[in-house]
Structure 1
Amino acid sequence: MNVEHEIKLLIEEIKRLGSPNSDGNVCVTFGTLFNDDRCANIFEALVGTLRAAKRKKVVTYDGELLLQGVHDNVSIKLLKDTL
């Protein structure tokens, strides 16, 4: 899969699993994304897709590299819902 296609899929999964915050942006925790069965089947490298989406300013989160377990409570905020 190409990166842009994976980012589009990521946007849909964040919207499916997340909820709007006070700013109106949809947020989801890394743990929720990582532990979701559907996401596990879609994304071969979820962390890599998140990093690419962050570089394109589609999502934002604290830190550079997210690790399962350690960063499960890190909030991922969707900044725009199109690429």
Structure 2
Amino acid sequence: MNVSHEIDLLVEEIQRLGSKNANGQTSVKFGVLFNDERCANIFEALVGTLKAAKKRKLIDFQSELLLQGVHDHVDIVLLEG
């Protein structure tokens, strides 16, 4: 699977699992994404896909590195779509 395709799938999963925040953007907690069974089956390296999407300015989150458990409550915000 190529990175662009994985990022497209990530955007779809954020839209599926997330909800609108106060700014009207779709947002989902990292823990929700990480613990979702469908996401676990799609993404071999969820954190890597998140970093690639952030680098392309499609999503944003307030952490350099996301770790399961420690960062479960970090919001991942969809900037487009």
Same fold (TM over 0.5): yes
Residue 5 of structure 1 pairs with residue 5 of structure 2: yes
The count of aligned residue pairs is 81
Give the corresponding residue for 2:67. Answer: 67
Residue 18 of structure 1 pairs with residue 29 of structure 2: no
Which whole-Å deviations, capped at 9, do the CAs of 1:21-78 have from their partners, x for residues lacking one?
1111000000000000000000000000000000000000011110000000000000
Query: How well do the aligned residues superpose, as a CA RMSD in angstroms?
Result: 0.4
Distance (Å, rounded) in 2 between the aligned partners of 1:63 and 1:34: 15
Distance (Å, rounded) in 2 between the aligned partners of 1:72 and 1:42: 19
Give the corresponding residue for 1:35. Answer: 35
DSSP 3-state at the match of 2:40: helix
Structure 1, unpaired ranges of 5+: none
TM score, norm. by length of structure 2: 0.99
The runs of at least 4 aligned residues of structure 1 exceeding 3 Å deviation read none
Structure 2, unpaired ranges of 5+: none
TM score, norm. by length of structure 1: 0.96
Q: What percentage of aligned pairs have identical amino acids? A: 67
Distance (Å, rounded) in 2 between the aligned partners of 1:22 and 1:68: 25
Distance (Å, rounded) in 1 between the aligned partners of 2:71 and 2:21: 19
Residue 52 of structure 1 pairs with residue 41 of structure 2: no
